[in-house]
Amino acid sequence: MARTKTAATAPSGASAKTSRNGRLSNAERSAYFARREAAKVLRLVLRGDARRRAVGSIKSLVYSPSVKNKKATFALVCQTLKHLSIIKQVLDSASILNSKWKRQEELVYILTYDILFGQEISLVGDAEKFLMLHKGAIQSALARLLVRNKVKSIEDLMALYQTPDVPKPRYVRVNTLKMDVDSAVLELGKQFVVQKDDLVPDLLILPPGCDLHDHPLIVNGCVFLQGKASSMVAAALAPKPGWKVLDACSAPGNKTVHLAALMKGKGKIVACELNKERVRRLKDTIKLSGAANIEVLHGDFLNLDPKDPAYSEVRAILLDPSCSGSGTAAERLDHLLPSHASGHTADPTEMERLNKLSAFQKKALRHALSFPGVERVVYSTCSIHQVENEDVIKSVLPIAMSFGFQLATSFPQWNCRGLPVFEGCKCFMEISSNL
């Protein structure tokens, strides 16, 4: 939307115990800490899912700088979530958990997964010793579950609960604050087949399944793991070097630092974020990117006064507000979460939740449009629902037009457009979660 002016840890649980020779092996030490890192991530994931207020996606939580053993942690979290229903049923049937271990249930879930489906567990921690002491009861509970489900093997039982993975390309965005695109293509091309994206100049396409999380270019912030849909948002706003830009709901910060790269590090970006935990992640992302023109504002975007002289020179606003996340379920691995189990779509509270999100989105967009110096506003969601997309724009369009804005078409070559529910929807873009 454009205004018609000149332009638009510390490990939880018990400490590690030494093995028989008085010293942990490297493998034991790595497994011990990976399980505790996984438990910490799993706790955030499950609590966020229960409250429908996620701190971040599974991937973003695992690949934050605070997690050291990313590959092992990611595998443990995903596999535990895939089998969480089985694990909970087994633990309930075994009746072994006292109040102490229920307070560390995420670590118990991780360890139970390893006992039933994963690797052999060494007796290097109190939780490990406790569960291995009850290994027989756990395995007996699993045997009863096999009988109850009328299957003969663990593989058959796993097949009843597992959700198939959806293969899709691996997208990465070159951080042009640190590296040019051609150099990134050459470096990544030593290991992978690399293509340049046809719409976003700094976006690269790699084959599905590429594991880049320990790649030097990722570790040093020259390249960011970022999907095409996410990368198109800042590109649609297209801020110019030297502008003052407001990112209204910034964390985890991939779009924020993309704005900084598009602005060649010049001008200023004010990055707002209300959630304290997400502010820390936002700062980590900014630090990794090397961007020096971003000011982090821990506060509510809705509380910013458009008449404040500090914001009189803001020329562009990126508004990517809280939403249902329904459009990135596969990318975020949300299909692994308990709330996305069978029957979730029939949840009678879901429509109420969507309506509350929509009301917030409308309020935030009206607020963004009220800044007097703003020429461009991009509104984006990760939702497939009309109530969070077309309906939001339709409701604010009259006031937007009264401020001198009109709908603008970004990426005109993009064929997939908004639902034709009112005139102007052809200006909207819809992007598949497979991209």
HSE-up (13 A, CA, CB side) for residue 371: 31
Going by their DSSP bridges, the two strands 376-379 and 314-319 should be labelled as parallel
Q: Which helix (H) or strand (E) holds 195?
A: strand 195-196
Q: Give me 341's structure tokens.
A: 């189990």
Please choose, from the candidates 202, 184, 180, the residue with its C-alpha nearest in 3D space to the C-alpha of residue 192.
184
How far is it, in rounded angstroms, from Cα 38 to Cα 306? 43
Q: Evaluate whether 106 touches 43 at the Cβ level (below 8 Å).
A: yes
Question: Is 323 marked active-site?
Answer: no
Strands in 294-298's sheet, in edge-to-edge order, are 294-298, 268-273, 244-247, 314-319, 376-379, 2-3, 405-406
Please state whether 265 falls in left (phi above 0), alpha (psi between -120 and 50) or beta: left
Residues 122 and 131 sit within 8 Å (Cβ to Cβ) = no
Three-state DSSP state, 218: helix
Q: Are 316 and 374 in contact (CB under 8 A)?
A: yes
In this structure, what token pair is assigned to residue 323?
């939403």
- Give the contacts of 316 (CB within 8 A, at least 6 positions apart): 237, 239, 243, 245, 246, 374, 375, 376, 377, 378
Please tell me which residue in 382, 416, 425, 427 is annotated as part of the active site: 382
Residue 352 CA to residue 214 CA, distance in Å, equals 41
Catalytic residues: 382
